[in-house]
Amino acid sequence: MTRGAFHTKDYTNRFLALGIDQQAIDDKITDTWERLFTDKDPALKIYFETENDMGYVVDTGNNDVRTEGQSYGMMMAVQMNNQKVFDRIWKWTKTHMYMEEGIHQGYFAWSCQLDGTKNAYGPAPDGEEYFAMSLFFASHRFGDKEAPFNYGEQAREILRRCLRKGPNNNGHTMWDLENHLIKFVPEVDFSDPSYHLPHFYELFGEWANEEDRAFWKEAARKSRDYIALAAHPETGLSPEYAFYDGTPNHIRGFGDFFSDSYRVCTNIALDYEWFGDEDTPLAVIDRLHQFFKDKPMADYRRYKIDGTPFEEPALHPVGLFATLAAGGLVRDTAIANDYVQTFFEMPLRQGDRRYYDNCLYFFSLLALAGQFNMYSN
């Protein structure tokens, strides 16, 4: 049986299935967008415009601009059909974050100051993959224009560099070309389970340069296997960093379930919603739901992947809850339904740490409303 919205063109609206009025769903999405991207609620805003038709998404917890946030902002803008915001963010990114020279030529600096000054001259691959996917969607939804708004060509060039790194194949690739797994950063031989987006790679396999398409199709298969491998078999918890065999990598203290790890649940759900592949590790969502079902959000902590808690509280409890709710997109259980219902009634996070939580919140909101969609040519 053919499953997944890529084949059926039908998206699951879990809110509607639970009896929430469609107008209320649409109003909540619009209100959330306006609170994050306009002056409607200055205390919640994360998007700011600058001169020369540019704009940036600020990481309010670190007071910088990251490729993560810029690429997330572009994805949100294309999902909301807002080409103006999309183009402003992309222009700021190309102007300030793109690296013109050095070992990382052709990649984007992962962190900049609010005035565009680079804080680092290294990239983070999760930014590149979100840039590429949002650019493909923009190409199909808005239509290509003159550079740098020739979206499709820009996306294909990003992916080419990720695998070949320049005209002379110099520098480090962002994926291991032998095992098809994304790296945490180009120079290392380990991964971050939350970077794995098999649903993106399936589409890269349709739209990337023809010579690269087989790689991306295989990367989708390998990433589904890796997500299952890295998640603990009882708790479902994934480490932030993991070796290629899936075991936690504790370098710099990142081998535990913490902020990056939260995204795994949403990634699994979207992958299954879009492609319905039988190898999508849905059991990881079930284990996560079981692990957290009796834990109040106020008590969320850092955890070893076996579930042992640390004293350190979660930095982004709203973001974690939002991703658990997103798991309900593809799991129709009593626990999943409770997460989805409670999430719909949950407000955005306030305060300095709001950026990451509210990005995860908005993606979950779109997904559960059946409005985190693919746009094809």
Average pLDDT over residues 46-71: 98
Q: Which residues are catalytic?
A: 68, 260
Which residues lie across from 317 on neighbouring strands? none
* pLDDT tier, 171 (very low <50, low <70, confident <90, very high otherwise): confident
Average pLDDT over residues 267-293: 98
- Tell whether the model's pLDDT for residue 207 goes beyond 60: yes
Average pLDDT over residues 195-222: 98
Tens digit of each residue's pLDDT (9 = 90 or more) over 3-58: 899 999 999 999 999 999 999 999 999 999 999 999 999 999 999 999 999 999 99
> pTM for the complete prediction?
0.97
Fold match between domain 1-43+176-181+214-377 and domain 46-174: yes
Tens digit of each residue's pLDDT (9 = 90 or more) over 261-276: 999 999 999 999 999 9
What topology does CATH give the domain 46-174? Glycosyltransferase (1.50.10)
Q: What are the extents of the domains in the chain?
A: 1-43+176-181+214-377, 46-174
Nearest Cα to Cα of residue 98 among 106, 87, 89: 106
Q: Is 13 exposed, middle or buried (0-12, 13-18, 19+ CB in 10 A)?
A: middle
- Tell whether the model's pLDDT for residue 167 goes beyond 70: no
pLDDT, averaged across the chain: 96
CA angle 21, 141, 265 (to 5 degrees): 55
Task: Return the H-helix or E-strand segment holding 178.
Answer: none
- Tell whether the model's pLDDT for residue 169 goes beyond 90: no
- Cα distance between residue 351 and residue 333, in whole Å: 33
Q: Domain 1-43+176-181+214-377 maps to which CATH number in 1.10.510.10, 1.50.10.10, 3.40.50.970, 1.10.3720.10?
A: 1.50.10.10
DSSP annotation string for 234-290:
TT----SSB-TTS-B--GGG-SSB-GGGGHHHHHHHHHHHHH--TTS-HHHHHHHHH
